[in-house]
Amino acid sequence: MALLPHAASPYTAPTDRDMLPSERRRFVQTHRTCVFGYDRLKDGPAMSIVYYVPDEDGSLCVATMADRAKAKAVARSGKVSLCVLDETWPFTYLQVYCDAVVERDPELVCDVMMGVAWRMSGQELPASARAGVHAMREKEGRVVLKCRPYATFATPPRHLASNDQKERLTHWLSGSVPWSADDPT
C-alpha cells in the first residue's frame, strides 16, 4: 500500500451544482484535515480535528495514540464519520462514512506520521527524519486508524459574494452517494 503525496492545491468544489462522485473522491484526496467523529459509550458523538493521509486504495489514514478514545472506538465499533474540511472560501465540507480498523504496523504508522508532518508543514520530511519519527511512534504508542469510505454526503459551497444571487439565495439538495459510484453519463 502506498500513501498519496500531499496535494499542492486542494480540489475546489463547483458552486453551481452538486459534486459528482469522482469529484467527491478528488476533494477527499486533495484535502488534509477533517473532523473525526465516532460514537462514545455514553453521551453524544465525539469529534476532533485531525490530519489524514489518503492511500492509493482510497483509504484515509489517521495517526493517533493507541490509548486515545478514537482508537478504542474504532476497535469497538469499526464505524466512523470524517467531515473533510475545505480550506478555501466559499467554505464547503464533505461528510465521509467509513469502516475503520486499527493498524499497528510500525512502518505504516511511521509513513502516515511523516505524511501528516508534510501536510502540517507543507514540506516533505527528509528520509533522515524517519528514525526520529519511529522513536516518537514507539514512545507515544501510535497506531493508524485506516478508514475505508463507503459513502459520502456533500454540502454545496454557497456564498452571496461569489455568485449572482444577490437578490435571492438558492440551494439544492444533496444526498448520500456510494464512495465507488460512477459519474452519471
Digit-coded pLDDT (tens) for 79-119 = 999 999 988 777 788 999 999 999 999 999 999 999 999 99
pLDDT score for 172:
63
Angstrom distance (rounded) from CA 112 to CA 144: 7
Does the residue 146 lie in any domain? yes
Residue with cell 492545491: 9
| Residue 31 main-chain phi, psi, to 5 deg | -100, 180
Q: What is the pLDDT of residue 161?
A: 56
pLDDT tier, 156 (very low <50, low <70, confident <90, very high otherwise): low
Residue 166 scores a pLDDT above 80: no
Question: What SS3 class is residue 63?
Answer: strand
- The answer to whether position 137 is within a domain reads yes
pLDDT at 170 over 60: no
The pLDDT-based confidence of 48 (bands split at 50, 70, 90) is very high
Domain tally for the chain? 1
167 has pLDDT over 60: no
In a domain, 3, yes or no: no
The predicted pLDDT at position 62 comes to: 98
Asked if residue 14 is part of any domain, the answer here is: no
Are the CB atoms for 89 and 164 separated by under 8 Å? no
Higher-pLDDT residue of 172, 155? 155
Between 161 and 122, where is the model more confident? 122
Residue-number span of the structural domain to which 114 is assigned:
21-157+171-178
Residue 163 included in any domain: no
Contact between 115 and 53 (Cβ < 8 Å): yes
Residue 119's domain is classified under what CATH number? 2.30.110.10
- The share of the chain scoring above pLDDT 90, in percent, equals 70
pLDDT of residue 141: 98
Does residue 88 or residue 43 have the better pLDDT?
43
Residue 51 in domain: yes
Residue 4 domain flag: no
Q: Is residue 117 part of a domain?
A: yes
Check residue 14 and give its pLDDT. 82
